[in-house]
Amino acid sequence: MTTTVPRSPAKVSFRDRLRRLAETVTTPLLPEDYLDLVAPLRAGAALRGRIVAVRPETPDAATVVIQPGRGWRGHVPGQYVRLGVDVDGVRQWRAYSVTSVPGGRDGRLAITVKAIPDGKVSNHLVRRARAGTIVQLDQAQGDFVLPEATPERVLLLTAGSGITPVMAMLRAGLHTRADVVLVHSAPTPDDVIFGAELRALAERGALRLVERHTDTDGLLGVHELDDLVPDHLDRETWACGPVGMLDAVEGYWASRGLADRLHTERFRPTVISPGEGGTVTFTGSAVTVEADGATPILEAGENAGVLMPSGCRMGICFGCVLPLRQGAVRDLRNGDLTTAVPGDGVLIQTCVSAAAGTCDIEL
Amino acid sequence: MTVIQKKAVNPIAHLSAEDIEIIGKELDAIRDRVIADRGERDAHYIRKVIKTHRTLELSSRAVLLFSFFPPAWIVGTAGLAVAKILDNMEIGHNVLHGQWDWMRDPKIHSTTWDWDHVSPPDQWQHSHNQLHHRYTNVVGKDNDLGYGIMRVDEDQPWHPVHLGQPLWNLINACFFQYGIAAYDLELGHNLREGRHKAPEFRARARAVGRKIRRQVLKDYIVHPLLSGPSFLSTLAATFTANLIRNVWSHSVIMCGHFPNGVETFEKTSIEGETRGEWYLRQMLGSANISGSKLMHIMTGNLSFQIEHHLFPDLPSNRYQEIAPQVRALFDRYGLKYTTGPLPKQVASAWWKVIRLSLPNRRTDRRQPVAPALASSGAA
Ligand code: FES
């Protein structure tokens, strides 16, 4: 005979009862499966958004304005959002910096996307996405943001689409609170995303803008900062751009013992030369695949039909984390080896980890 | 050649081992072409079918709230029956095959899908995807040959109990979803072996029990109650819709492997089977149903059973498109592509069930008893 603590009747609210009844009515589906047909953006639904406009910015970049569902909690300038888009029928998740100012019109948010060569999602968003399309969303995240107390002097060091997170900071009025220098690289003047807006700010004297056009002037070397921005080491710096640039910048600031004044945002993993690869077993689904040392486990699993959790696919959102039960994987960004013996459950990011020998992934 | 035929005329005697491997290569090529072309259009298709199903189910149930009014009863019952058929056939069967996993939509995925059916998806997937599709028409291995309760092949031994099989088949048709659940649970086998107390079996039986409870609660209690004064008529309507769905699915599924012209194989015939031979077994062991587009959707495209058995995980909307290529391959290699309209195939399957309820004399086996039903529509 067992006794249980009587549940206070107030615990089972009328709402709960109603929901349970609704579930009985719709089984094996859920009430939301029906509600999604009519109100995909309603409160309580899985977070989604509807594209309301796609505005070209440069020949290969566009701003996508999204009306998020009622559950959207907003963002802080500099943060990114994970977006799930169906491209050629396949759901793809990517992370993009939010370029709009928090609390804008109707709570809409905007992301600005640069089409990268062979980029499935970026090309789709820039060239094919249409208003009215529903996309999947996650709450904004990321710590590439300004501190509570804005520093007096700020250096923004960006290249290509690296301008997007800092644009949100500028649009939110960073230049009104700090002395800002922006050093931005792009192949040509026309390739500068938000070029007109930035130049207008500079003309008004709101910030100092250093444009570097790499097609004519070559890549920016870190040492050039001495001339371009003589006081750069005294400035709190936010840098975002390609891996090579970030590596150089990080090395430079670190060598001067100033690593804590530098904030960086990396959007693509550094891919190291292929390791040895191996057999990956997904223990829950009993699927086994041969993967080479350059293929992320996420991709290997998906190609074998395993439903893998994923997010940004570039190592920043941890939406793809799964326990490594045994074996070894290599981090594709820096070559780090992670190993686990049976009994361990080391969590690994499957999107930036490749098999380095046999490994068992729990899924 | 490992496919052993007991028929008077061996339908593959004219094929060399190389021929069979070439057939395999050609089929692989068809498959690769579809996979390379899979995309937006297909995703749009399945989403549209799912949306249609949900809209139809919801509106039919709404109409049935007024089922005391006879026209409402008829419209609601018909709509609900169609919705249930769509759910089980074009959506459930195919999603649970993993045909749509490539979309990476966690809501339309073989690991998360559930259907309006009392067999839990994972149990059905095991007996259907893993056993039936692997051992297609291998006597003694593929229990879909008669579902373990009937004798549908001359090579299966006859017992007096088979005399009743036309009746079992009729009962099975009416309560098909329960038949499938019992079959997936291997109920008879487990009971006979005294394994009904094993924890593994009990867990699976509980899962079936849960699904039955929820289905019964929904169809026979909650919805009738919601209809208030229409309680009894809604109850009757739901029962009828389930009956229609069951008989329909049963008929379609019987057409897949039972009609005349379909070959069966011996257990030993699949040892060391090559890919080409595997394909060949699927080709000879399945039969299609001819008909309109609507007919194909309502059968879950199992009217393209041959194509489905060759490529169980290709999106169902593609079977119709590749059927002419598959059929041309049959023709080129002198193989019989068994197909025919639904009534004819159903009759053929039923005739076999009735015929084999009696012991076969040796002569019976060599010649079809009902010549009118013997040849396929391929001629
Ligand atoms: S998918 Fe974002 S960290 Fe792996």
For residue A8, the model assigns a pLDDT of: 53
Residues of A with Cβ-Cβ distance to B226 under 8 angstroms? 25
> What pLDDT sits at residue A318?
73
Query: What is the phi/psi pair of residue B292, to 5°?
Result: -85, 170
Confidence check: pLDDT of A275 > 70:
no
Nearest-angstrom CA–CA distance, A246 and B245:
62
Helix (H) / strand (E) element for A243: namely helix A243-255
Burial (CB < 10 A; 0-12, 13-18, 19+), residue A3, is exposed
If you average pLDDT over every residue of chain A, what do you get?
90
What are the backbone angles phi and psi of residue A237, rounded to the nearest 5°? -115, 135
**Confidence bin at A269 (pLDDT 50/70/90):** low
- Which residues in chain B have their CB less than 8 angstroms from residue A28's CB? 114-116, 211, 214
Q: How many helices (H) and strands (E) does chain B have?
A: 18, 0
Task: Give the pLDDT band (50/70/90) at residue A136.
Answer: very high
| A243 or A3, greater pLDDT | A243
Residue B104 in contact with partner chain A when CB distance is under 8 A: yes
Q: Find the angle CA(A161)-CA(A167)-CA(A170) to the nearest 5 degrees.
A: 160
Q: Is the dihedral of CA A248, A250, A251, A253 positive or negative?
A: positive
Look at residues B318, B293, B292 and name the one whose alpha carbon lies nearest to residue B307: B318
State ipTM. 0.88
Question: 3-state class of B32 per DSSP?
Answer: helix
**Is A324 close to ligand 1, i.e. is its CB under 6 Å away?**
no
Q: Where are the beta strands (DSSP E) in A148-253?
A: 153-159, 179-186, 208-213, 236-240
Q: How far apart are the CA of B239 and the centre of ligand 1, in A?
A: 48
Q: Is the CB of A320 under 6 A from ligand 1?
A: yes
**Which letter does DSSP use for residue B211 in this model?**
H
The answer to whether A180 and A207 have CB atoms below 8 angstroms apart is yes
Q: Which atom of ligand 1 is nearest to the CA of A352?
A: 4
Rg over CA atoms, chain A: 24
Please check whether residue B225 touches A, CB under 8 A: no
The CA distance from B8 to A361, in Å, is 53
Q: What is the mean pLDDT of residues A11-19?
A: 85
Q: What are B4-12's contacts with CB under 8 Å, separation 24+? A: B4/B265, B4/B266, B4/B268, B4/B269, B5/B263, B6/B154, B6/B155, B6/B266, B6/B365, B7/B263, B7/B366, B8/B366, B8/B367, B11/B263, B11/B284, B11/B335, B11/B336, B12/B280, B12/B284, B12/B335
Establish, for the pair of chains A and B, how many residue pairs have beta carbons separated by less than 8 Å.
Answer: 62
Q: Where are the alpha helices (DSSP H) in B125-230?
A: 165-174, 176-184, 187-192, 199-216, 223-226
Give the whole-angstrom CA distance, residue A340 versus residue B127.
Answer: 35
Domains of chain A listed by start with CATH number: 48-141 (2.40.30.10), 153-265 (3.40.50.80), 277-361 (3.10.20.30)
Considering Cα of B237, then B239, then B245, then B251, what sign does the dihedral take?
A: negative
Tally helices (H) and strands (E) across chain A.
10, 17
pLDDT recorded at residue A140: 95
Residues of A in contact with B40 (CB under 8 A): 86, 88-89
Q: What is the per-residue pLDDT for A315? A: 76
Instruction: Please give the pLDDT value at position B227.
Output: 95
- Closest to B180 measured CA to CA, from B112, B250, B133, B240: B250
pLDDT of res. A268: 57
Residue type, A331: D
Q: Is A351 in the pocket of ligand 1 (CB under 6 A)?
A: yes
d(CA A168, CA B287): 62
CA distance B291 to B312: 21
pLDDT in tens, A224-264: 999 999 999 999 999 999 888 999 999 999 999 999 999 99
- Answer whether 0.80 is exceeded by the pTM: yes
Q: Which of A268, A316, A363 to mutate to test the pocket of ligand 1 (most atoms within 8 A of CB)?
A: A316
- Predicted pLDDT of residue B377: 31
Strands (E), B237-364: none
> From the CB of A192, is ligand 1 less than 6 Å away?
no
Count Cβ neighbours within 10 Å for each residue of A77-96 and write b for 16 or more, e otherwise. Answer: bbbbbbbbbbbebbbbbbbb
CA distance A144 to A95: 13
Give pLDDT < 50 ranges for chain B: 1-5, 363-379
Note whether B124 contacts A: Cβ–Cβ < 8 A. Answer: no
Q: Return the pLDDT at A175.
A: 96
User: In chain B, whose CA is at the least distance from the CA of A30?
Assistant: B114
Residue of A96, A310, A331 to test ligand 1 pocket, by largest number of atoms within 8 Å of CB: A310
The phi and psi torsions of A77 (rounded to 5 degrees) equal -55, 135
pLDDT tens profile A306-357:
888 887 677 766 778 899 988 889 988 778 888 887 767 788 999 999 999 8
**What pLDDT does residue A119 have?**
85
* DSSP H/E element including A293: strand A287-293
Phi/psi at B87 (nearest 5 deg)?
Answer: -60, -45
Using CA coordinates, name the residue in chain A closest to B112.
A307
- Ligand 1 centroid–CA A306 distance in Å is 16
Is the C-beta atom of A348 inside 6 A of ligand 1?
no
Are A29 and B44 in contact (CB < 8 Å)? no
Contact between A89 and B40 (Cβ < 8 Å): yes
Q: Are A151 and A231 in contact (CB under 8 A)?
A: no
Residues of A in contact with B111 (CB under 8 A): 285, 307
Q: Which residues contact B333 (CB under 8 A, 6 or more apart)?
A: B15, B19, B23
> Given this model, what pLDDT does residue A67 score?
97
Of how many residues is chain A composed?
363
Distance CA A222, CA A185 (A): 12
Chain A residues touching residue B39 (CB < 8 angstroms): 88-90
| Strand-pair partners of A291 | A278
Give B301 to chain A, closest Cα distance, Å: 21
Reported as a single tens digit per residue, the pLDDT across A154-193 is 999 999 999 999 999 999 999 999 999 999 999 999 999 9
Q: What is the DSSP letter of A93?
A: E
Q: How many other C-beta atoms are found inside a 10 Å radius of the C-beta of residue A51?
A: 19
Task: Report whether A265 contacts A340 (CB < 8 A).
Answer: no
pLDDT at residue number B140: 81
Instruction: Supply the pLDDT for residue B148.
Output: 75
Specify the 3-state DSSP secondary structure of A9: helix
The pLDDT value given to residue B203: 93
A56: number of Cβ within 10 Å: 11
